[in-house]
Amino acid sequence: MKQFYLGLFLVLVMPIAAFAQQAQPSAAAPAKTPALIVAVVDLPALIKAHPVTVDEVPMIQEQLKKEALEAQKKQQNYQKEMEKVSREYNIGTPQFEEAVRPIKEGMRQLEAQMQDKQAEMQNRMVPLQYKVYSDIQKAVEKVAYEKRAYIVHARVSVDRTGVSEELAAVREADANGSLVWNRPECDITEDVKAALAQIAGTPKGGAQSLNNLAAQAAGAAQQPAAPQPAGNQQRAANRNTTGRLN
């Protein structure tokens, strides 16, 4: 009889013990990082951190500003010419109309040129903007998968220079729309910045002005040429004398 009860005990208890052992977490299994579910990024900060924004966009903007100033000077010269003609001829007379015709045509062409320049600059900016947002998208996607985030909201920070905390808070609330609050650990901006640097590289330390670039190019042109091997010098002399390479 004792053997019967012992066998019954083993039949009932052993499966339960085995199930309990399987249910216990393995000590060797690494703990999973808690999912963020929803994360936020400071989108303006990411745009400012991109090399294109730091190094390339300011050069285009500077070029447009330079051309706008030149156009403004030409416009002022046309205005002076109009005033001069107005003093010399009575407005509405054939002599006046004849004198102002080339001035008006010059002003019209100048306006058309500026519109073309602005359109050209816009066409140059679009690929750069696409590059910035495309790289940010890749960086956000990388970090979101690492953090196990399902949704990433854009958080907008405003410039607080010279404004009160109350006004800055109101501006940020208006800019962020539906995003009212988030826990600090939900902000993955710094992680995305690091990923963005791997994807797009780091800025070169600021944009160089077009004038500086032109000066560098002119300086390079004035530098004496590096000495060439004797064979190269002979071939260069042959080109100068015969027009072909012997």
Provide the residue ranges of all domains of the chain, joining segments of one domain with +: 34-203
Tokens of 43: 């989108």
Q: What is the mean pLDDT of the chain?
A: 77
> Is the confidence at residue 199, as pLDDT, over 90?
yes
Q: What's the distance, Cα to Cα, between the start and end of the chain in Å?
A: 115
Look at residue 29 in the predicted model and tell me its pLDDT. 52
Which has the minimum average pLDDT: 1-10, 18-27, 36-45, 136-145?
1-10
Average pLDDT of the segment spanning 20-44:
66
Distance between CA 101 and CA 89 in Å, rounded? Answer: 13
Residue carrying the six token digits 């000495």: 227
141-157 pLDDT tens trace: 999 999 999 999 998 88
> Is the confidence at residue 139, as pLDDT, over 80?
yes
Q: Comparing 159 with 16, which gets the higher pLDDT?
A: 159
Look at residue 32 in the predicted model and tell me its pLDDT. 62
> Is the confidence at residue 211, as pLDDT, over 70?
no
Distance between CA 87 and CA 220 in Å, rounded? Answer: 51
> Is the confidence at residue 38, as pLDDT, over 70?
yes
Which has the minimum average pLDDT: 28-42, 99-113, 176-190, 208-222?
208-222
Report H helices in the chain: 2-23, 43-49, 51, 57-88, 94-147, 165-176, 189-200, 210-222, 230-242
> Is the confidence at residue 234, as pLDDT, over 60?
no
Query: What global pTM score does this model have?
Result: 0.61
Distance between CA 103 and CA 97 in Å, rounded? Answer: 10
Look at residue 245 in the predicted model and tell me its pLDDT. 32
